[in-house]
C-alpha cells in the first residue's frame, strides 16, 4: 500500500469507527458487534504503526494511548464557571420568579413573559471542553470557577465525548461526567476483592476516577457524559437555551433528551414533580431540575449575582431523610470564634454515606426544634452535602432525654463567650455566641486549616490532624509559620518519616506562589467567601491597593454591602493582621497580581452605571471592559456617578440620573469610551 492509499484508508477507517462509536454511545443504536469494531481498530493500529507520520489527532486509538501523568496541570478558564443557587420548594421557586420578573420588566417592559427550559440535574462532575476547528484540545475540571485542572487525557477515554465534532467550529461547552449505578457496583466488587475502600456513590466514583493519573484505569471504569451548555468560543451560539441544546446534539455531543420548554412556572413545577417520582428509572443519579430562562437576551439582562446566574436555578428534589438518635451535643469553635452546637449521632447511612454528626446551627435553632440529648431525630443532607437536624420525634422519648444549654465559657480555652452586635439584625445581638479570646487554640487551629484548604493555599498533606500536631509541638502559631518549617523540624515527630516530611516541605514550597483571589480567601476575613475574594481581586488588582480600601469605596463593588465592607476595612486596619501579611511576604509568599482590572485607562476613577439592555455587550462583559479601562462599575445611581449608560428599555436608574443631572450616554458613545 502506498502512503497516499494508506492515508485514504486511515481517513475512512477513522470516519467509520467514529460513526459506530457515535451510534453506540450517543444514540444508543449499535450498528455492529464489538468484534467488528475491534477489527476495524486493529487495522487502523497496523496502518498507524506502518505510517506513523499519518497519525491523526482525532484517531480513536488516542483515547487510551497516553502514559500515566505525574500530576494534573492547572489551567485558567477562558469562560468563568458558575454554580446554581438552589430552591427546595414551590414557594422558593415563586420567590425566584418574583425577583427576576422585576428586573425583566425594567428591561423589557410589563408585557414580558419569559419561557423556561427545564433540564435534569445530573449528579456528576462538571467538565469544561474546548474545541478548535472542531477538534478537542482541552478538557478541564471546574476548580474554583477561574482555574481548573487539565484532565484531557482522561476525558478522551469517555466514548460519548467526540474527539472531533461534525462541524469545524471553535466552541467552549460544558457538561457533566457521570457513572452508572451498574458500573459502580462492578467497580466496588473489584475493589472489595482487592481489599480497597468502596466508593460511597456514583458521583464520588466519577470524581475519583477523573482524578486518576493513569488513563487506562479511567477507561476501564466506563464513564459517560452529557453536554448541556454552549458557553463560549469564537463561533457564535444560538439565541436560546432550547436551540442551544439542539445545536449541541447536531455537533455530535450526547445531550440528555429529557428536557422541556415550559411557558410558565406551573409547568415547571409539574415537570419537577413528575421526575421526583421517576428519577430512579435512569441509570444516572438525578438530584433535581435545572430551570433556565430560555432567551439568551433575557439571560444577559439578568446577569449574575455572587457565585450564580440570576437567570437559572437548581430546583432540587426533597433531600433524602433518615432517623437516628442524638447521643450527645458538643460545641465546636470556628476560626472566627463562633460556637456551633454539633449533634453526635448514632451512625446512619444517608445519600450513600455514613453520617455521624449533624449541625444544629445555633442555640435559637435548638430551642425552635426542641432538641434534647437522647432524642430520635430526622436528619437530611441540605443540598445533598451538609447533614442537618430537621425535626424531633417527641413521641419516641423515654424520659431519659436531657436538655442542652450553651456554655457560658469557651469549651476550648475557658474564656467568656458573648453575642456580638449584628448588621443583619439591625444593630441587635446576633444569634451566635463567640469566644472572646482571639488567641484561643481552637480558633487559631481553624484559621490555619482554612488557610491551607483546597480553595486557599491548597497545601497537600497539611490536614487537620497534622495542623493540630504541629501547633501542639509549638511549630505553628500563625499561618506565616507554615512557610518557616524545615524538614528537620518534622522528622523527629510521630507520623513523619523522612519521605513524608520531604513531601510536605515540597508541597509548602510549591504553594508559596498564589493568586490574589485565593490569598484573600485564605485570610479568612469575616463575610468574605470565595466569590467575594474573586471580586476584590478583580477590582483592586494587587494586595497593596486592597489593604488601603475604605468601606465607602468597597460598597461601590457589586454585591458588597456595608457589613462586608466594614469587615474588610477592619481586618486590614488590625495591627496583628498587618504583621501577619508582613511575615507571609518575608517568608517567601508571592501573590500574583490580577490582570483583569487595569489600574489606569481612559475611565480611570470614573464610576459608571448601566440601565437597560445593551445590544453589543452582556452585563458581565460590560463590567469587565469598564474595569479593564480603569473604571468602576456601580449598581446604583448617585450624585457621585460619572456616567449612566442607557440601553433599550431602561429602568428607574434612567429617571434618577435625569433628576440628578448626571451625564447620560447611549451605547454607541459608551463603546467609543471603551476603545
Of these residues, 71, 111, 121, 246, which one is catalytic?
Answer: 121
DSSP output for 231-254: EESSS---SBHHHHHHHHHHTT--
Q: How far apart are CA 543 and CA 32, in angstroms?
A: 61
Strand partners, 313: 291
Q: How far apart are CA 347 and CA 519, in angstroms?
A: 37
For the chain, how far is it from start to end, CA to CA, in angstroms? 58
3-class SS of residue 360 = coil
Joined together, the cell numbers standing for residue 4 give 497516499
Best CA proximity match to 94, nearest among 274, 272, 243: 272
Q: Annotated catalytic, 297? A: no
Please say whether the beta carbons of 542 and 598 come within 8 A: no
3-class SS of residue 413 = coil
213-252 burial code (b ≥16 CB/10 A, e <16): eebeebbbbbbbbbbbbbbbbebebeebbbebbebbbebb
Best CA proximity match to 657, nearest among 609, 603, 606, 607: 609
* Three-state SS sequence of 486-528: CHHHHCCCCCCCHHHHHHHHHHHHHCCEEEHHHHHHHCCCCCC
Degrees, nearest 5: CA angle 83-337-449: 60
Helices (H) and strands (E) in the chain, counts: 24, 26
Report which DSSP code applies to 558.
T
Q: How far apart are CA 243 and CA 173, in angstroms?
A: 14
Q: How far apart are CA 37 and CA 599, in angstroms?
A: 58
* 3-state DSSP percent of the chain in helix, strand and coil, to 5: 40, 20, 40
Best CA proximity match to 326, nearest among 300, 302, 296, 360: 360
Residues noted as catalytic: 121
Amino acid at each position: 500500500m502506498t502512503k497516499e492509499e494508506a492515508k485514504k484508508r486511515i481517513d475512512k477507517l477513522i470516519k467509520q469507527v467514529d460513526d459506530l462509536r457515535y451510534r453506540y454511545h450517543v444514540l444508543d443504536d449499535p450498528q455492529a458487534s464489538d468484534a467488528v469494531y475491534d477489527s476495524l481498530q486493529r487495522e487502523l493500529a497496523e496502518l498507524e504503526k506502518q505510517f506513523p507520520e499519518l497519525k491523526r489527532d482525532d484517531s480513536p486509538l488516542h483515547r487510551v494511548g497516553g502514559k500515566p501523568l505525574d500530576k494534573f496541570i492547572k489551567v485558567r478558564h477562558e469562560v468563568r464557571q458558575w454554580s446554581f443557587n438552589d430552591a427546595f420548594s414551590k414557594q422558593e421557586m415563586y420567590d425566584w420568579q418574583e425577583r427576576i420578573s422585576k428586573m425583566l420588566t425594567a428591561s423589557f417592559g410589563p408585557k414580558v413573559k419569559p419561557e423556561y427550559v427545564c433540564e435534569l440535574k445530573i449528579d456528576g462532575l462538571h467538565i469544561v471542553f474546548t474545541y478548535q476547528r472542531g477538534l478537542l484540545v482541552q478538557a478541564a475540571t471546574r476548580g474554583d470557577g477561574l482555574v481548573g485542572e487539565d484532565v484531557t487525557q482522561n476525558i478522551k477515554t469517555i466514548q460519548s465525548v467526540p474527539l472531533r465534532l461534525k462541524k469545524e467550529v471553535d466552541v467552549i461547552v460544558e457538561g457533566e461526567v457521570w457513572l452508572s449505578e451498574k458500573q459502580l457496583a462492578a467497580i466496588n466488587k473489584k475493589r472489595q476483592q482487592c481489599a480497597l475502600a468502596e466508593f460511597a456513590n456514583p458521583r464520588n466514583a466519577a470524581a475519583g476516577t477523573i482524578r486518576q493519573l493513569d488513563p487506562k484505569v479511567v477507561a476501564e471504569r466506563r464513564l459517560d457524559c452529557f453536554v448541556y451548555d454552549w458557553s463560549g468560543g469564537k463561533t457564535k451560539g444560538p439565541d436560546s437555551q432550547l436551540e442551544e441544546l439542539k445545536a449541541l446534539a447536531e455537533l455530535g455531543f450526547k445531550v440528555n433528551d429529557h428536557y422541556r420548554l415550559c411557558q410558565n412556572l406551573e409547568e415547571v413545577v409539574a415537570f419537577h414533580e413528575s421526575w421526583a417520582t421517576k428519577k430512579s428509572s435512569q441509570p444516572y443519579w438525578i438530584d433535581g431540575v435545572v430551570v433556565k430562562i430560555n432567551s439568551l437576551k433575557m439571560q444577559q439582562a439578568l446577569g449574575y449575582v455572587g457565585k450564580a446566574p440570576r437567570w437559572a436555578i437548581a430546583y432540587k428534589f426533597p433531600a433524602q431523610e433518615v432517623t437516628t438518635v442524638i447521643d450527645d451535643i458538643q460545641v465546636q469553635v470556628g476560626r472566627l470564634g463562633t460556637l456551633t452546637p454539633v449533634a453526635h449521632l448514632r451512625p446512619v447511612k444517608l445519600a450513600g454515606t455514613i453520617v455521624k454528626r449533624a449541625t444544629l446551627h445555633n442555640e435559637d435553632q435548638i430551642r425552635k426544634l426542641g432538641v434534647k440529648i437522647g432524642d430520635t431525630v430526622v436528619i437530611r443532607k441540605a443540598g445533598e452535602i451538609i447533614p442537618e437536624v430537621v425535626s424531633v420525634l417527641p413521641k419516641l422519648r423515654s424520659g431519659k432525654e436531657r436538655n442542652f444549654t450553651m456554655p457560658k465559657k469557651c469549651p476550648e480555652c475557658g474564656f467568656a463567650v458573648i453575642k456580638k452586635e449584628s448588621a443583619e439584625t439591625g444593630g441587635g445581638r446576633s444569634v451566635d455566641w463567640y469566644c472572646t479570646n482571639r488567641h484561643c487554640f481552637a480558633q487559631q487551629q481553624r484559621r490555619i486549616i482554612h488557610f491551607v484548604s483546597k480553595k486557599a493555599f491548597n497545601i497537600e498533606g497539611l490536614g487537620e490532624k497534622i495542623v493540630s500536631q504541629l501547633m501542639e509541638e509549638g511549630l505553628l502559631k500563625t499561618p506565616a509559620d507554615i512557610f518557616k518549617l524545615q524538614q528537620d523540624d518534622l522528622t523527629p515527630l510521630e507520623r513523619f518519616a523522612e519521605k513524608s516530611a520531604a513531601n510536605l516541605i515540597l508541597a509548602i514550597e510549591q504553594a508559596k506562589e498564589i493568586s490574589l483571589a485565593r490569598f484573600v480567601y485564605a485570610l479568612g476575613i469575616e463575610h468574605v467567601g470565595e466569590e467575594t475574594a474573586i471580586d476584590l481581586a478583580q477590582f483592586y488588582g494587587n494586595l497593596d491597593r486592597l489593604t488601603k480600601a475604605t468601606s465607602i469605596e468597597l460598597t461601590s463593588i457589586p454585591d458588597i454591602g456595608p457589613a462586608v465592607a466594614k469587615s474588610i476595612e477592619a481586618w486590614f486596619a488590625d495591627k496583628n493582621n498587618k504583621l501577619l501579611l508582613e511575615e507571609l511576604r518575608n517568608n517567601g509568599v508571592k501573590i500574583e497580581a490580577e490582570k483583569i482590572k487595569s489600574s489606569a485607562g481612559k475611565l480611570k476613577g470614573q464610576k459608571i452605571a448601566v440601565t437597560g439592555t445593551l445590544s453589543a455587550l452582556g452585563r458581565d462583559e460590560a463590567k469587565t471592559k469598564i474595569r479593564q479601562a480603569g473604571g468602576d462599575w456601580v449598581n446604583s445611581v448617585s450624585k457621585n456617578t460619572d456616567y449612566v449608560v442607557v440601553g433599550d428599555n431602561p429602568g428607574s436608574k434612567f429617571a434618577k440620573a435625569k433628576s440628578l443631572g448626571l451625564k447620560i450616554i447611549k451605547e454607541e458613545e459608551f463603546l467609543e469610551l471603551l476603545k
